[in-house]
Amino acid sequence: MKISLNWLKKFVEIPVIENYNNMVVGKVMELQKHPNAEKLNVAMVDIGIEQIQIVCGGVNLEKGQTVPVALIGAIMPNGMKIEPVNLRGVESNGMICAKEELNLGPNGPKEIMVLDSNLQAGTPLTEAFKMKGYTVPQLQELFTIRTAEVEAIEKPGEKLQNVVTGKIVAFEKIADSDKLHRATIDIGSKKIQLIFGSVHEVKTGWVVPIALPGAIMANGIMIKKTKIHGIESEGMIADDKELGIENTSEGLTIFPPKTALGMPIADALDLEDTIFIMDNKSLTHRPDLWGHYGIAREFSAILGTKIKPYEKAVQLAKEKDIPIIKSPLNITIVDKEICPRFTSCIIKNIKVEESPQWLKSDLVKVGIRPVNNIVDITNHIMLGLGQPMHAYDRKMVETDTLEVRYAKKGEFIETIDHKHHDLSEEDPIITNGKHVLTIAGVMGGAYSEISEHTTEIILESANWQPAVVRKASQRNGLRTEAVQRFEKSIDSEMAITGLLRAIALVKKLCPKAELEGGLVDDYSEKVATKVIVVRPERIQQKIGAIVTTNEMKDILKRLGFGVASAPNKSLSITVPSWRATKDIATEDDIVEEVARMHGYENIPTPLPTLPTKLPEENILRTLEHKSRTILSGLLNMNEVYNYSFYSGADLANALLPEELHLKPQNFLSTDQTHLRISLVPNILKNIHDNLRFKKSFSIYEIGHTYNEEHAFFPREDVWITGAIVTNTTENPNSIPLLDAKGIAETYMQNIGAPIQEWKKDGLTLQLAHPHNSLAMFSPSERLIARCYDLNPIITKKFDLEGPHKIAIFELNLSQLSQEKLLERKYQPIPRHPGIEFDLAILIDKKIPSIQLKKAIESAMPELIKYATLFDQYEGPNVDPSKKSLAYRILLQSDDRTLTEDDMTKAQKVIMENIAAIGGMLR
């Protein structure tokens, strides 16, 4: 929302001062002629802390003078920034200012301003001029920290520099051109010649905007003196589009004939203004701030200046203007909850035409396009007071009997933007019995729209139920200015004020206009005055700063609240109607009013005292971080994050059962239609993407899975899912499944989880290779880890075939975080040396190695400390039905040093055990 400072000033006193930052009083200590420029001088100026050199062209500059100096970094009122410059070989570090440059009035040509010689060098200009007030950036900052964010400042006039009013004295077609004309333009101080095309029809005597050399058009092009068809052109007739304004529907702004010539059009159009651009989101809870009057009220509270009552600041229709006879309007509000208040009247003898410039300017400045006088009046009241209004063409409505109700099935409307809407039974409407005239509070219908033929209008100034308006707006896709206001619960008290203001404005713009009958006011839902009792000590305790009761009273009064003392040192607060609709209801709401107006910046920053009880540890979260340290820091894996979704195609490709999946009703893309029950599909996509750049890598993700288990809340588990990708060209002997298994075991060893025996993974998971997969279960028989080669079907479906092998591991973190961890116990260091020896054994391929290991270790359990498989071989020199397994075995005793004999004996028993399962020494 855009707010005009000039408009605010009609309601409240806002002392605005120029931004004289970095401008100080200076004394001319020395003055010399510029060595290379006749008209320039070089001055040494004392600015209090030092002397600076300034090149100056002022004709009245003298040694010893006291002058205003703009230092480096100063921004002049016209937007120019002061920077160090080199003027014809001499450095200049500031500017001695003229009156005009400080926006303090006119001065003679090239005359600098001379100040009172009693002023101290270095005194800031604001102080020297005894300026009291706020710069625009200060106002922006104050409103932002007290009330709501002012996102930016706009100066509509700045864009229109060097564009002036000019009268077309004469024009003629250029002989050898179809379209070009030569015109003589009077711009006050002189007459200029320019060439123009034939986009707009023009007439001699018209006063139009003339862009002079130096003007910058909306498209960024700067106007220059130029020659067209050999004829000199000293400017351009500029239309609204070229100027970047929306002032007239005709496209070219034409000023009244008596307009002064050569006047900057920013002045002629009243666009010399400052616009605050409000962040609408920060006004969500403040229905009262959706118009200039509300913002003015807030500024009055912030600055402590007086606000004029609305009825004194602007003209309202007076009692004598309103006929005593009853209005012919017969409004029936069928569905009462839709409409808390409906005020209305009929005005005859209207002449619909373009609005006067002041009205158009007010709208243009804040971004609303002028349409015609009647529509502009309704918009002006919405922007000024915050009350949306609507005007109907009475003749098109045909009847004065109207109904307010929910739409019925089959009813429809064409809104003024010429879109057709089939209405639902929840849409609020106003109807004449034949047509739907408007979606109430949302948008009017094209059927009864104000047109140039309109001579009689029905004016509506109502309040509509916020939720109803909001839903209707959403359902019909119409987010209008009116909706933005009604949905926030505006003050019903405004409705009648808006109507009276509209009547006054219509009468002003159409002097012949008169009311037919009196006003209609159906006020079904008058809100009772809201009174809140608050406890000052509690307010202070919540803010955490010392705010006296007197200060609280003062703040609340400034904001329009009624304040009275109540028993037990509490205060009885009467909420003004404009704050009582929703915004202010409890003591906490008053805390906010006091806190923000006391100034959040004035609140200290103490830390709360620490509790004596330590916070409870989040075991799962600690484990997650530890897992990352192990997997990334120890095992060289990279962590990825993926979305919680995948597509129907992904889950089909991964052979996951669709019925276990939860599905978002609304999804952003067809890639994200299902919530994951496994982290694998997205990991496989990561592999696919990374294979374009890398050959071997390993990645993992820690994330939630969501399982539909037919309870209301689904089951969420946290999994670590990882993949090892090895390149078979570079590393033909790699067995990523063993890497996966090793990672899982090392991981569990590191977190201290007891490693259970791996089992064949007999689960339903089809992601895994039917044979090359194994699983580990906790003592309570819950799955804690699993690793597998990818099912070849899936490799193919995810387009992962190529010179690489992929193995997956999955760790059930939710389960692991609940497992009892091993307690580490010290083992005495063996005192007697052991004997280590290797055995290579040939055995049937089908016998799992674990069986052999057990056969060895059970041979002499008291002496054999371990038997580790360190090599496996199949191929030439080994019977094709067999494999060769090499074990390293350690014999060690706790109480003696072993001998050759012990080893021979052990080997014998080991070989007997091995022979028993069909193995032999190789």
Residues 455-474 that bind other proteins (CB under 8 A): 467, 470-471
Strands of 14-159 (E only): list them.
23-33, 41-46, 51-56, 66-71, 85-87, 90-92, 94-96, 150-154
Nearest residue (CB) to other proteins, 628 versus 905: 628
- Footprint on residues 42-61 left by other proteins (CB under 8 A): none
Of 363 and 631, nearer to other proteins (C-beta) is 631
Q: Establish if 545 lies at the interface with other proteins (CB under 8 A).
A: yes
Report the C-alpha gap between 533 and 517 in whole angstroms.
44
Mask for 284-323, x = binds other proteins (CB under 8 A): xxx-------------------------------------
Residue 698 CB, nearest approach to other proteins (Å): 8
Tell whether residue 341 is a contact of other proteins (CB under 8 A): no
User: Which residue in 210, 436, 699, 775 binds other proteins (CB under 8 A)?
Assistant: 699
Q: Does 410 bind other proteins (CB under 8 A)?
A: no
Q: Which is nearer to other proteins, 213 or 648 (CB)?
A: 648
Q: Which of 281, 306, 824, 846 binds other proteins (CB under 8 A)?
A: 281
Beta bridge pairs of residue 722: 700, 809
Helix, strand or coil for residue 206?
coil
State the minimum distance, in angstroms, from the CB of residue 23 to other proteins: 18
By the rule CB under 8 A, 555 interacts with other proteins: no
Closest CA to 346 of 388, 398, 391: 391
Whether 704 and 812 have beta carbons less than 8 Å apart is answered as no
- Whole-Å CA distances, 782 to 716, 724, 778, 815, 885: 15, 24, 5, 7, 33
| Residue 557 C-beta: closest distance to other proteins, Å | 19
- Which listed residue (542, 695, 797, 853) binds other proteins by CB under 8 A? 542
The yes or no reply on residue 636 touching other proteins (CB under 8 A) is yes
Q: Does 267 bind other proteins (CB under 8 A)?
A: no
Q: Taking a C-beta distance cutoff of 8 angstroms, is the pair 398, 435 a contact?
A: no
Amino acid at 491: D
The dihedral built from the CA positions of residue 734, 740, 743 and 749, taken in this order, carries a sign that is: negative
Q: What span, in angstroms and rounded, lies between the C-alpha atoms of 293 and 387? A: 10
Cβ at position 587, least distance to other proteins in Å? 9
Burial label, 528 (beta-carbon count in 10 A; 0-12, 13-18, 19+): exposed
Q: Convert residues 136-155 into a mask of x (bound to other proteins by CB under 8 A) and - (unbound).
A: -----x--xxxxxx------
Is residue 134 within the footprint of other proteins (CB under 8 A)?
no
- Please report whether residue 625 would count as binding other proteins according to CB under 8 A: yes
Contacting residue, 610, 823, 824, 875, with other proteins by CB under 8 A: 610
Looking only at residues 579 through 598 of this chain, which bind other proteins when binding is defined by CB under 8 A? 586, 588-589, 591-592, 595-596
CB of residue 806 vs other proteins: minimum separation in angstroms? 15
Shortest CA distance to 345 belongs to which of 502, 508, 452, 492?
502
Of the residues 105, 608, 762, 848, which one makes contact with other proteins according to CB under 8 A? 608
Task: Find the binder of other proteins among 15, 64, 511, 544 (CB under 8 A).
Answer: 544
If one asks whether residue 390 binds other proteins (CB under 8 A), the answer comes out as no
Looking at the Cβ atoms of 399 and 636, the one nearer to other proteins is: 636
Of the residues 621, 771, 820, 845, which one makes contact with other proteins according to CB under 8 A: 621
Q: Is residue 651 classed as helix, strand or coil in its secondary structure?
A: helix
Alpha carbon distances (Å) from 324 to 320, 516, 539: 9, 10, 50
Shorter beta-carbon distance to other proteins: residue 117 or 605: 605
Q: Which long-range contacts (CB under 8 A, 24 or more apart) does 75-79 make?
A: 75/19, 75/21, 75/22, 76/101, 76/102, 77/18, 77/19, 77/101, 77/102, 77/103, 78/103, 78/158, 79/155, 79/158
CB nearer to other proteins: pick between 29 and 620: 620
Applying CB under 8 A, which of residues 685, 769, 805, 883 lies at the interface with other proteins? 685
690 or 766: CB nearest other proteins: 690
Nearer to other proteins, 286 or 804 (CB): 286
Rounded distance, CA 676 to CA 682, Å?
9
Question: Closest separation between CB of residue 627 and other proteins, Å?
Answer: 10
Cβ within 8 Å of residue 24, ≥6 positions away: 47, 48, 68, 69, 71, 121, 122, 123, 124, 125, 128
What residue spans of 369-480 are helical by DSSP H?
373-384, 394-397, 466-476
Q: Determine if 541 is a binding residue for other proteins (CB under 8 A).
A: yes
- Output the smallest distance, CB 591 to other proteins, in A: 6
CB of 304 to other proteins, least distance (A): 18
Binding flags for other proteins, 712-741, as an x/- string (CB under 8 A) = xxx-x-------------------------
In whole angstroms, the minimum distance from the beta carbon of 702 to other proteins comes to 8
Among 618, 868, 872, 881, binds other proteins (CB under 8 A): 618
Comparison of 62 and 716: residue with beta carbon closer to other proteins: 716
> Of 28 and 539, which CB lies nearer to other proteins in the complex structure?
539
Q: Point out which span in 59-67, 99-107, 542-550, 822-830 binds other proteins (CB under 8 A).
A: 542-550
Minimum separation from the CB atom of position 629 to other proteins (A): 8
CA distance 807 to 785: 14
- Residue 141 · residue 152 · CB < 8 Å: no
Of 209, 198, 207, 191, which Cα lies nearest the Cα of 172? Answer: 198
> Is residue 633 within the footprint of other proteins (CB under 8 A)?
yes
**616 touches other proteins (CB under 8 A):** yes
Neighbours of 445 (CB within 10 A): 24
Query: 64 or 137: whose CB is closer to other proteins?
Result: 137
- 477 interacts with other proteins by CB under 8 A: no
Residues 716, 721: Cα–Cα separation, whole Å: 15
Give the binding range for other proteins (CB under 8 A) out of 227-235, 305-313, 540-548, 901-909: 540-548
- From residue 803, how far is each of 653, 727, 737 by CA, in Å? 21, 6, 16
Are the C-beta atoms of 400 and 329 separated by less than 8 Å? yes
Instruction: Give me the amino acid identity at 759.
Output: K
Closest CB 582 distance from other proteins, rounded Å: 10
Answer yes or no: are the C-beta atoms of 6 and 273 closer than 8 Å.
yes
Position among 54, 366, 543, 580 found at the interface with other proteins (CB under 8 A): 543
Of the residues 614, 733, 880, 916, which one makes contact with other proteins according to CB under 8 A: 614
- Binding to other proteins (CB under 8 A): which residues in 645-664? 662-664
Q: Which residue number, 608 or 828, has a Cβ lying nearer to other proteins? A: 608
Closest to 448 (Cα-Cα) out of 461, 432, 464, 462:
432
CA distance 136 to 5: 9
Q: Which residue has the tokens 């006929």?
A: 323
Give residues with Cβ within 8 angstroms of 665, minimum separation 6: none
Considering the complex, what minimum distance in angstroms separates the CB of residue 717 from other proteins? 11
Footprint (CB under 8 A) of other proteins, residues 661-680: 662-668, 672, 675
CA angle 110, 112, 117 (to 5 degrees): 160
* 399 vs 618, beta carbon nearer other proteins: 618
How many residues touch other proteins (CB under 8 A)?
Answer: 89
Backbone angles phi, psi at 901, to 5 degrees: -55, -45
- Least distance from C-beta 104 to other proteins, angstroms? 26
* Dist CA 782 CA 776 (whole Å): 8
